Chains A and B, each alone.
Chain A
Amino acid sequence: MSTATETARPSAAPVVRDVRPDARRPRPRVGKILLGALGIVLSLVWAFPVYWMLLSAVTPDARLRASTPSFLPTHFTLSNFGSVLTGSGFGGALRMSLMITGVTIVVVLAFAFLAALAISRWRFRGRTGFVLAVLFIQMLPAEGLFIAQYKMLSTVGESAPVLGLNSVLGISILYAAMLVPFTIWMLRGFVAGVPAELEEAAMVDGLSRTKAFLRITFPLLAPGLVASGVYAFLQAWNEFTTALVILPAEDHQTLPIWLRSFLSASANRGIDWGEVMAASTLIAVPVIVFFLFVQGRMTSGLVSGAVKG
């Protein structure tokens, strides 16, 4: 970061400097410019798929089928979005995704918050075992569990359809189980960051334990809860593997599963890539917005152990 003074020069600086006869170290400068160019090229390569998705979404299908693709929005149209939004399925899938994500977030936050409180404010017998289990469980892949979860929900669904396959509650419980461990871990850090002494001081001043917690500790934990909530939103909103198995009925699909069906249906009549990209854009944009909001906390949560260790 201390190179900032050097790197903050206006871009004309290298030219001026090369003219000087006593430019002792021209090589690092040239090297830096070349590296900068490489960085820009790589950025363009990495950004291209997202750009191509957005561009194709606003280009009519006839133009997309042309032998020479256009790299700028020269035939701008919103008709692709129109046909996706008015077509079958999107509304229902959106509702399904919203309900499942909503239930999951509430359950995950409430349950994980209580558990995070327990492991960061108390040392009790079995605590290490619990933390160990939580850390291992968060690594388990959905692929290693979905057959059993499918059988479990189909059996339960025979007597209680609200908890069976294709039900909001059924898959929300599975999502909650998948997300609670990491959320406990994430919130643990936030809870540990609020010193218990603050709460104790409030109690000395005459507040009850509950009031001290609600008035002092809870507001300080709000950023942590928001970050964890957004994380749970992203995971539940994007989840594909479990949803594919647990929600087989076509009218109970979440958005990711719906996008796959939409593409398959489009494939039967020669894929309309404009519409498919418009559908992808509709799914991706809210996620990208939320992601940018939460990412800083996520990176530090995942590798902080390694950075410190």
Chain B
Amino acid sequence: MTAATPAPAIAIRRRRTPATPYLLLIPAVLVLLVGLGYPVYWQVVTSLQEYGMMQQFGAPPTFAGLDNYARIFSDERLWTVVGRSVLFCLVNAFLTVAIGLGLALLMKAVHAAVRVTMQVVLLLAWATPLVAAVTVFRWLFDYRAGVVNWLLVQMGFEQYQGYAWLAQPLTFFLVATVVIVWMSVPFVAMSLYAGLTQVSEEVLEAARLDGARPAQILRHILLPLVRPVLAIVLLLQIIWDLRVFAQIRLLQDAGAPISETNLLGNFIYELGIGSQDFSGAAAVSIFVLLLTVLLAAPYVRSLMKEDAA
């Protein structure tokens, strides 16, 4: 594909040694082939092979065609996990972007001192390492001495005395959503705020002079102008919220029912590391990789435009 299309209308710089760029790429390509290329190749091969107990003990694997895919994708557990993952991902992504947009608009509207306060606080949440953040939320939602339960009881909800949030799937995912939204909103809010500041003040002033109400300015000027950023941020959030293995795994440590709270990454982990079903895990991994590539395509396209520019 790349060989057939001529280079775009960019000034082509002629260098003495055309081999140089290829030499410069060798180290990067090598590390990518070793660290990612081979694992992907192994997964494709393994997903097409019978890789059971016999193979664990050294028997050569036998070709199984698409048997593993048929086996895994007719398994009801997988579809439960896929459905749960997609639902969780979409709820989190849209919630994060909605709150992020709200905060970005708020930052644009408030006094500079308030805005700086908000930015500092968002950076703080953004910078907190994932493991530390999830650990803090486990403490906040601790059933015995957690401050959330204490607060709810103070507000008159006596039933939250000693309430174990992480022990049931529904409240487990509620806490997971709170953690993920808390961690993810800063990136969205900052990116959208950066997009909003690109909107020229003259345009807004003109709209005000023409008698536009704030709601109209929002709907007809601000939102259309930040739509490209909004779309990219939502897309990235959807991709990132599909890979929440770490958050879920860390919250499950608090005694959650594992099989009822697994999302896709955790399901693969369990299948591969837990049950040693490597062909099954490889088949699901291929599915996850293909899904990611599919979702990432519009983002990559927008970045390629920047590269050509």
Interface residues of A (CB under 8 A from B): 1-4, 7-8, 32, 35-36, 38-40, 42-43, 46-47, 49-50, 52-53, 56, 64-66, 68-69, 107, 110-112, 114-115, 117-119, 121-132, 135-137, 139-152, 173-174, 176-178, 180-181, 184-185, 188, 196, 237-238, 240-241, 244-245, 256, 259-260, 263-264, 267, 271, 273, 276-277, 280-281, 283-284, 287-288, 291-292, 295, 299-300, 302-309
Contacts of B144 in A (CB 8 A): 65
Contact: B285 with A39, CB < 8 Å?
no
Task: Kindly identify which residue among B27, B128, B250, B288 contacts A141, using a CB–CB cutoff of 8 Å.
Answer: B288
Contact: A260 with B253, CB < 8 Å?
yes
A–B Cβ pairs within 8 angstroms, 21 of them: A3-B201, A36-B111, A38-B106, A43-B121, A115-B29, A123-B13, A136-B300, A140-B36, A141-B243, A141-B265, A141-B288, A147-B269, A148-B46, A188-B307, A196-B13, A240-B130, A241-B243, A287-B127, A288-B128, A291-B123, A307-B229
How does the 8 Å CB contact mask read for B217-254 relative to A, with 1 for contact and 0 for none?
00000000000110111001001001101100110010
Interface residues of B (CB under 8 A from A): 1-3, 5, 7, 10, 12-13, 15, 18, 20-22, 24-25, 27-29, 31-32, 34-36, 38-40, 42-43, 46, 103, 106-107, 109-112, 114-115, 117-118, 121-133, 135-140, 142, 144-145, 147, 150, 182, 185, 187, 190-191, 194-195, 197-198, 201, 228-229, 231-233, 236, 239, 242-243, 245-246, 249-250, 253, 264-265, 268-269, 272-273, 278, 281-282, 285-286, 288-289, 292-293, 296, 299-300, 302-307, 309
Contact: A143 with B46, CB < 8 Å?
no
Q: Which 8 residue pairs across A and B have the least CB separation, nearest first? A: A177-B35, A143-B265, A148-B39, A291-B127, A147-B272, A141-B243, A118-B24, A115-B28
Contact: B232 with A115, CB < 8 Å?
no
Given A47-B124, A307-B228, does the pair A39, B31 have CB atoms closer than 8 Å? no
Contacts of A288 in B (CB 8 A): 124, 127-128
Contacts of B281 in A (CB 8 A): 147
Contacts of A129 in B (CB 8 A): 1-2
Task: Kindly identify which residue among B130, B133, B242, B293 contacts A136, using a CB–CB cutoff of 8 Å.
Answer: B293
Contacts of B106 in A (CB 8 A): 35, 38-39, 42
Closest to A61 in B: B145
**Cα–Cα distance between A144 and B47 once the two chains are bound (Å):** 13
Contact: A52 with B147, CB < 8 Å?
yes
**Cα–Cα distance between A140 and B305 once the two chains are bound (Å):** 21
Closest to A49 in B: B136
Interface centre among B187, B265, B292, B306 (most CB of A within 10 A): B306
Closest to B267 in A: A143
Q: Give the distance to chain B from A221, nearest Cβ to Cβ, in Å.
A: 14
Main secondary structure of the interface of B (DSSP, over half): helix
Contact: A69 with B147, CB < 8 Å?
yes
Task: Kindly identify which residue among B107, B112, B140, B289 contacts A7, using a CB–CB cutoff of 8 Å.
Answer: B112
Task: Kindly identify which residue among A124, A174, A276 contacts B18, using a CB–CB cutoff of 8 Å.
Answer: A124
